[in-house]
Structures are given as C-alpha cells and as structure tokens.
Amino acid sequence: MTQVVRLTGAAFFVLALCSAARAEDPKPAEPPPLLAVGTQAPDFTTTAHDGSKVQLSKLKGKVVALYFYPKDDTPGCTKEACDIRDNWGKLQKAGILVYGVSTQNNDSHKAFAQKFTLPFPLLPDENGEIAKKYNVPVVDGKARRITYLVGKDGKIKYVWPKVTPIGHATEILTQAEAK
C-alpha cells in the first residue's frame, strides 16, 4: 500500500535543499594507488637528520628500504625504528640502506634518533613532497605507514601497504634477499 504525504511549502523547501546538498557533496577523493613493483622509484633529494645529503638516484646499485612512518617518538613508530635498529647489523651485512621518512623536521628527527640510538638516516618531508611522489597518503599531517623496497636497478622491488612495526626489519631482509 502506498501512502501519500503532503508537504507544506516550508517542509518541501527544506527537503529539496537537503537533497540538493547531498547531490553536490563530492565523494572523498580516493588516494592514488601505491606505486607498482617494477616502477622506477621517483627521485628526490633532501638532507637527513645527520646532515648527509640523500639523492635516491645516486644510490643506484644499492638496495634501499624507504619506510614512511607517521610521527617521531610515538609508540608504533618507536617500535618500528627500534626493530630496524636492533637488526641493523643484518641489514648492513645484506647491503640494505634504510631511510625513515616522516613529515617532521630534522630537529624532531635528531631528537628521536638520539633518544633511541637510531643508526640510520631519518628524512624530513615537512611538505609531504616525497610522500606525494610515492603516493603515500598524508592524513592530518602524518604519512601512512608504508615501505618501499627499491632494488639495485632503481626500480621498486616490493611494497608493504600496511606495515606491522615489530618484525618489519626481518620482512625487509627476506624480500631483499628474494630473487
């Protein structure tokens, strides 16, 4: 059974406005897909927290783990950084260069690296330019936790779209050694 409801002029006007507003609301933009395995890793140049200049294209011939993380000195980011620190000898022995990238500045990175004795460079990405090149979403000023493994040929060898902080260093080692 169909019911007919009569709307007064004011009720009809409000209903029409709500319908129009819903029709005009854009859908939230989907982030671009992460870069695919086999894609040339985008080049960038920056200065790490330790003062060293890092240009990805000059690292060709080396395996590079570029891990994006949300924020210095937070629980998950500290676990991930310390996991890499604790496996640093194995990573070095395998010839893997590791760079942590977040949107904090080098003052924050220096404090974080010093507090936890991190032996690898942390890269500032205050404007999210590196994250943008790698299609890493930055939400509320924080990069999502994503890692790219770049092979010796400068191409992306493996992508972790969702990283579990503890055990990630072992995952990096395993994929770097995989043929």
Cα–Cα–Cα angle for 113, 74, 170, rounded to 5 degrees: 70
Multiple choice CATH, 45-177, 3.40.30.10, 3.90.1520.10, 3.40.50.720, 2.40.50.100: 3.40.30.10
Mean pLDDT of the chain: 89
Distance of CA 116 to the CA centre of its chain: 21
pLDDT at 19: 46
pLDDT at 6: 56
Q: Verify whether residue 18 is a known catalytic residue.
A: no
Q: Which of 77, 130, 146, 172 is catalytic?
A: 77
β-strand pairing of 142-143 with 138-139: antiparallel
β-strand pairing of 63-68 with 96-102: parallel
Q: Which of 174, 171, 177, 156 is nearest to 80 (CA)?
A: 171
pLDDT at 95: 96
At residue 2, what is the residue type? T
**Does 92 score more than 90 pLDDT?**
yes
Q: Which of 44, 36, 59 is nearest to 128 (CA)?
A: 44
**Does 5 score more than 60 pLDDT?**
no
pLDDT at 3: 55
